[in-house]
Structure 1
C-alpha cells in the first residue's frame, strides 16, 4: 500500500527494477484515469438519485469515495517516478498522499465486509430491523471506518519524510521505520485487519447468501428478485477484491517470514521488494475496476444510472428546448422521469 522508496531500493539498479520503474507511470496513469472517471460516475449516480438510499448504497458509495480519493493521489507518485523519485510537493503532501493511499485498503475491505453482512441480513432476516433506522446506523459506522482507516495509516505520518539523498542528488519521499518492530506491526495489522478478520466473515456470509440465492422459490415468494441481483453484484465485487489484493497479502506474509530468518538467501531481498511492489499495483487496480463491475454485473445500478442520465438530459432540455431539439429525450419522457 505504501510506495516504499527507501534508499536501499532506489540504489538497486537491477534489470527488474529498471523495468518496474519504466512501466509504473503508464500503469498508474491508466488506473488514475479509469478510477477517477468511473468512481466519479458512481458517486454522481448515488448523489443525484432522489430516492432513499439503502444500507448497501451507503456502503458502496463510501467505497467509491475511498477509491476516488486513492486514485486521485496517484498522479503525485507518477510525477515523482518520472522525476526519478525526486519529490517536489513538500513534506505535508508526502504524508497526506500516503495516508490516503494507505487507508484505502483498510476502508475498502471493511466497507465490503459490511456490504456482505448487509446482504446476508437482508436475505435472511428482512423484517428484523427498519431500513430507515439501519441507514442511520450505517452512516455512523461509515464515519467510524473512516476514522479507523486514518488511525491505521498513522505510521505514514510518523515515518514518512522528505529527505535529501546525497548519493542520488534527490529529495525523496520515503518510509523509514526506526526499527523492524514497526515494520512487523504494520505487517501484522495488514494481515489481521485486511485478511484474518474480514475473510472469515465474508466467507461465512457469502456461503449463506449463495444458499439463499439457490432457493429461487423462496426468493420468488418473498419478492426478493431485486435483492438477489444486488447480492450477486456484491459477491462479484468481493471476489475481484480478493483476487486483486491476495498477492499483496502473500508478500506481506513472506516479508514477515523473512524477518524471522525463515527464508534464507540474498536473492529474497529483491524478490520480496519487487514482488511487493507489483502486488501493490495489482491491488491499486481494484479501485478502478469496481465502477465497471457495477455497470457490467449490476443490472439495478445500470437502470439507476440510465434514470439519472435521463434526468440530467431532461434538465438540460428544459433549460434550452430549441438547442436540444435533436435529443433522444422527449417531453413525454421528461414528464415521467423520476429519480
Structure 2
C-alpha cells in the first residue's frame, strides 16, 4: 500500500501495492511441502498403523488441521502478488474460515499431544482419561467444533471491501473492520495462544524433570530420554518460532490501526512483517511430522521403508529396534538409587 498522506483528515486515499514476491513464493513452497508431508502422514496413520492408541488419534487430527490450509496456496499467492483479491466475497470468507481452523486447530492439537505425552510418561502406571481412546475421540470432535464455530463467526463479521481500485480480503487496511479486528484479536489471543502455550510450558517443564531421572544405562531408558527431549524441543520450537511472532505482530498491528490510524508508514511495515510471519506460521505444517517420528516407531519405520523403495537407505541401529510407546513407558531408577540398593543388601 502506497500512502500519499499520513492523515485521513485531508481525505487523501492510499493505493494498494503487492507484497514482496519472496513472501508469496515462500508461502507457496511451504504449503506445497506441507501438503506432501501431511498426505504421507495420513497415509501412514490410515494404512500402516494397525492399532491406534489415544495419542495416534491426536496426531492424525493434527495432520488434518495442517492439510486444511494447503488448498489455499494458489489463492494466497495470487492475492499477495497482486495486492488484490479477485476471487469474490464467498471465497474470501472460506479463506478466513480455513485460516482460523488451521491456526487454532494446530495450536490446540499440538497442546493436547504435549499433555498426552506428559501424562503417559510421568503417570504411566495410573489411569487417566487422556489415555482412553473413546475420550480422546470425543475431545477431537470438541476441538473441531470449537475452531469451526470461531472461524464461522469471524467470517460472518468479515469479508471483502474496496480500497481505491483494489478489493481486499482479511486486511488491516479495511477501515470498516478495524473494531472487529481489534475485538477478535484479543478475544482469541488468550484462549487460542496464551493458555495453550502456558499449558505446554508447564507440561514440558515437569516432563523434563521426569526424564532426567531415567536410567540412561538401560537401552530403553536412553532411547526414551532422547525421544522425549527431541519431542519437547520440536513442540517448543513450533510454538516459539511459528505461532508466537504472528500473534505478537498481529496484536501490535490492530492496536496501531485502532488508536493510531494515521501512522501509515508504521502500518505498512507491520503489514509486511505480518505476512512474513505467515511464512513462519505455515512452516509448522512441515515441522509437525517430526513429532510423529518421535512419538511412533511405526511411523519412522514406514518412512524409512518408503525411502528404501526409491533407493535411499538408512543404517538401522540398536536404538531403532527398541520399542518405545508412550503408553508403556516407565521411568527407571537412577544409577545412584541402584548403587544404594546394592550397598544396603
TM-score clears 0.5: yes
Q: Structure 2 CA distance, aligned partners of 1:39 and 1:209? A: 27
1:337 alignment counterpart: none
Gaps of 5+ in 2: 1-11, 314-345
Q: Structure 2 CA distance, aligned partners of 1:259 and 1:281? A: 22
2:118 alignment counterpart: 120
2:149 equivalent to 1:151: yes
Change (3 A) 1:83 1:179: closer
- Which is worse superposed, 184-193 or 255-264? 255-264
**For the Cα contact (< 8 Å) 2:216–2:225, is it kept in 1?**
no
Measured against aligned partners, the alpha-carbon deviations of 1:312-334 in whole angstroms (never above 9, x if no partner) come to x7xxxxxxxxxxxx9x9xxxxxx
Please state whether the residue corresponding to 2:51 is helix, strand or coil: coil
Q: Structure 2 CA distance, aligned partners of 1:172 and 1:260? A: 18
Deviation at 1:266, TM superposition (A): 4.9
Deviation at 1:52, TM superposition (A): 1.7
1:48 alignment counterpart: 47
Q: Structure 1 CA distance, aligned partners of 2:201 and 2:182? A: 27
2:233 alignment counterpart: 236
TM-score of the two chains, using structure 2 as the length reference: 0.73
2:201 equivalent to 1:197: no
Change (3 A) 1:227 1:129: farther
Measured against aligned partners, the alpha-carbon deviations of 1:92-119 in whole angstroms (never above 9, x if no partner) come to 3222232112221111111111111111
Please state whether the residue corresponding to 1:150 is helix, strand or coil: helix
Q: Structure 2 CA distance, aligned partners of 1:247 and 1:153? A: 21
Q: Structure 1 CA distance, aligned partners of 2:250 and 2:141? A: 28
2:32 alignment counterpart: 33
Deviation at 1:220, TM superposition (A): 5.3
2:103 equivalent to 1:105: yes
Measured against aligned partners, the alpha-carbon deviations of 1:134-192 in whole angstroms (never above 9, x if no partner) come to 111111111111111112223442144345x4842x55544557454322221113320
1:111-190 to 2 correspondences below 5 Å? 111-129=109-127, 134-162=132-160, 165=162, 167-168=164-165, 171-174=167-170, 176=174, 178-190=176-188
Count of aligned pairs between the two proteins: 296
2:70 alignment counterpart: 71
2:15 alignment counterpart: 11
- Which is worse superposed, 210-219 or 253-262? 253-262
Q: Structure 1 CA distance, aligned partners of 2:229 and 2:45? A: 19
Deviation at 1:278, TM superposition (A): 1.6
Deviation at 1:307, TM superposition (A): 5.5
Change (3 A) 1:159 1:211: same
Change (3 A) 1:12 1:227: same
Gaps of 5+ in 1: 1-7, 314-325, 329-339
1:283 alignment counterpart: 281
Deviation at 1:302, TM superposition (A): 1.5
Q: Structure 2 CA distance, aligned partners of 1:179 and 1:308? A: 48
Please state whether the residue corresponding to 2:159 is helix, strand or coil: strand
Q: Structure 1 CA distance, aligned partners of 2:38 and 2:211? A: 28
Q: Structure 1 CA distance, aligned partners of 2:103 and 2:84? A: 23
Q: Structure 2 CA distance, aligned partners of 1:261 and 1:94? A: 26
Change (3 A) 1:249 1:157: closer
1:333 alignment counterpart: none
Please state whether the residue corresponding to 1:53 is helix, strand or coil: coil
Q: Structure 1 CA distance, aligned partners of 2:123 and 2:217? A: 12
Aligned Cα RMSD in Å? 3.5
Q: Structure 2 CA distance, aligned partners of 1:265 and 1:172? A: 20
Q: Structure 1 CA distance, aligned partners of 2:60 and 2:246? A: 25
Q: Structure 2 CA distance, aligned partners of 1:134 and 1:299? A: 17
